[in-house]
Amino acid sequence: GQQLNQNPQSMFIQEGEDVSMNCTSSSIFNTWLWYKQDPGEGPVLLIALYKAGELTSNGRLTAQFGITRKDSFLNISASIPSDVGIYFCAGRGYGGSQGNLIFGKGTKLSVKP
């Protein structure tokens, strides 16, 4: 079945630093989504990507849909303490049960003030 590999699993950074994380899939996707989950809450959608090569920003967050359609990247610039949380990528491939998202295992981000 389709698999998503999300890296890194965790990051410990200093406030003000930039952050990069990525997801790669074993097959081609037509949609990539990035979510953030705070403790005790559900994942919240940050950015949605629908076309290969698409680059979309949401404040200090920027995500890209890889040209190969098998990967996506999320960058956070000038991190702040409230960026702490778990970031999930999710993708939807062609075929199979429509509507299903496949989720990565998450990148846990810790920011030191």
Partner 1 sequence: DARVTQTPRHKVTEMGQEVTMRCQPILGHNTVFWYRQTMMQGLELLAYFRNRAPLDDSGMPKDRFSAEMPDATLATLKIQPSEPRDSAVYFCASGLGQGKGQPQHFGDGTRLSIL
Residues in contact with partner 1 by CB under 8 A are 30-31, 33, 35, 40-45, 48, 50, 88, 92, 97-101, 103-106
Q: What gap in Å lies between CA 72 and CA 39, rounded to an integer?
A: 24
Question: Tokens 């810790």 sit at which residue?
Answer: 110
> In whole angstroms, how close is the CB of 108 to partner 1 at the nearest point?
11
Q: What gap in Å lies between CA 100 and CA 111, rounded to an integer?
A: 32
Name the residue nearer to partner 1 (CB basis): 9 or 68.
Answer: 9
Name the residue nearer to partner 1 (CB basis): 76 or 89.
Answer: 89
Name the residue nearer to partner 1 (CB basis): 60 or 92.
Answer: 92
> In whole angstroms, how close is the CB of 83 to partner 1 at the nearest point?
19
